[in-house]
Structure 1
């Protein structure tokens, strides 16, 4: 069939090409049931031949939905964030939705600007790994019908769905593991104290020490930015200073990497348990013992929660905690140094 130069094929063109009704084409394009497999295949073949693309502007006018959601991460380049993104994208694809992604870089203003920019572009829902300490700016969007799910950290100053790791429980398990291997002087190197995950992991550290009736010297705790200079200074102070420790719990993968770069490759070194797994961690000498999160489960749970809201769930805000897992590989099984 012929069309005018520069015109885009329509569903009517596809229907004529495939020899079916317009409603049949609509059902195939929108992933609806009720079309025989052979007929659906004929329609898809006609779509391919004509180069038909669904008109999402028309879809928006008809349904009020854009078939798109947005994910706002801390840093898309971080392996943990990348795994979250893949999991969310997988669930979105199951629902015929596109995923738009942005990085806040731990900047509260950028988080707000990106979140509102996504909403201005009429995404159907929003998943946020939050940086800010006040998320009331999202209340008008939520009231207008855009569901928001918080991932990895809870919202601040509003009630909203949150999907989190068991941060306190994971840290408690990691420290208890070190205690079982004879350590009594255990250091904690964490992220900024205001960050929910860092605060929860420090809480788990303290709980494990209390469970074992062990005192905590506040000099064993160091929190702050995750840059290498701060972390290496913390390692030196904790392992060689006035109150040296024999073991360390590092509270995220960036901190763990900085510590690994700084620890001596030979000679005495503290036992180490890292929170978050690392690629090739089992190839180190000794292998890195970690408290592993499950970013695939976290991302998938957040996406499913969002689509449940889009499907009409209006229940109270939910808090979902995904368990962590201790993986012993050697670094956390080193006994305390003599002396």
Structure 2
């Protein structure tokens, strides 16, 4: 910093004020200091600066998402980064992969770096290990899944309602034997989507005890195999509700391998890339991960700015997008 100050012809305190974005520094001085820093390839030590900064902040957030290769998680990630950038804040991100050990390891790594706030997707039965951090005043916002064991802000989709919307759509098109392909039961969103599915069948007077249900699916291959087995069973379904986007991709592969994509109806919870380009196009109950990420980031920054209101659960609605696959009627009524 002394070298930058000497090259710019200003004092070290002035360089510090420019680096930390403090007010009442002329544009000409900012330009000289910035140019000198570039010339010397100077990068400020953010952790050292944090020790002297009045608010004690590191201008960083920790973000834990399901998996960065999942389109839903990727969109949440991007929305958080866009919001953080407006505040001059960097984002450290990690993937959960629905691994409880990985969850706590990632959160511990964020906290060791003294992040100012956390935005988390979690899978552990309880997040009470974060209670000390909440008492210290660290903002923690949960996305996609709500916390257990503690009270904290959350931003989630209306999973049960979205599943009911998908199920009702298939029932409206004449289906009574609708199969459910679900994620792992330990995951909160999977349980909520199953609940919405079964409740909608019950409201329509469809007996649920014999409904074809395959759960514990979490990737394309397991979903593909499950779909093939269902359609090869003595009483195959006429329609499928796939409750997770990666499961949906495996289901699509199976239907196409079997040549059944034009006679088995399919509705997916969550969209998948290029879904509108398939033939028929994929009917989905779409979440809004961009809105979820944006609202979560806004909540963190509101807390950092002094918002002490009670923890809030924000529900982001889903919407049905009809593209063709969910509008296929059962053969016997075709």
Normalized against structure 2, the TM-score is what?
Answer: 0.89
Distance 1:177 1:33, change over 3 A: farther
Q: Which moved more, 1:159-168 or 1:46-55?
A: 46-55
What pairs with 1:194-273 in structure 2 (closer than 5 Å)?
Answer: 194-228=186-220, 230-264=222-256, 266-267=259-260, 269-273=263-267
Q: Does 1:277 align with 2:271?
A: yes
Residue 73 of structure 1, CA deviation = 1.9
SS of residue paired to 1:100: strand
Moved more, 283-292 or 220-229: 220-229
2:39 aligned residue: 49
- Asked if the contact 2:173–2:329 (Cα under 8 Å) also holds between the matched residues in 1, the reply is yes
Deviation of 1:255 after TM superposition, in Å, equals 0.8
Structure 1 distance, partners of 2:249, 2:172, is 24
RMSD: 2.3
Match of 2:299 in 1: 305
Conserved? CA contact 2:220–2:248, under 8 Å: no
Question: What SS class does the counterpart of residue 159 from structure 1 fall into?
Answer: coil
CA contact (8 A) 1:74 1:131 kept: no
Does the aligned pair in 2 maintain the 1:149–1:305 contact within 8 Å? Answer: yes
Q: Does 1:79 align with 2:76?
A: no
Number of aligned residue pairs: 329
1:324 is aligned to 2:318: yes
- The 2-side partners of 1:297 and 1:192 are apart by 25
Shift, 1:295, TM fit: 1.1
Q: Using the alignment, how far apart are the partners of 2:11 and 2:291 within structure 1?
A: 42
1:164 aligns with: 156
| Partner Cα distance (1:106, 1:200) in 2 | 17
1:4 aligns with: none
CA gap 1:263/1:49 in 2 versus in 1, 3 angstroms: same
Contact 2:184 2:216 in 1 (8 A): yes
Query: Which deviates more from structure 2 when the two are superposed, residues 229-238 or residues 303-312?
Result: 229-238
8 A contact 1:219–1:243 mirrored in 2: no
SS at match of 1:338: helix
Gaps of 5+ in 1: 1-9
C-alpha displacement at 1:326, in angstroms?
A: 1.3
> How far has the Cα of 1:303 moved from its partner?
1.3
SS in 1 for 2:332: coil
Deviation at 1:126, TM superposition (A): 1.4
| Other structure's SS at 2:181 match | strand
How far off its partner does 1:220 sit?
A: 2.2
Q: What residue number does 2:117 align with?
A: 125
Matched-pair contact (CA < 8 Å) for 2:222–2:250: no
Q: Which segments of 5 or more consecutive residues in structure 2 lack a partner in the other structure?
A: none
C-alpha displacement of 1:70? 0.9
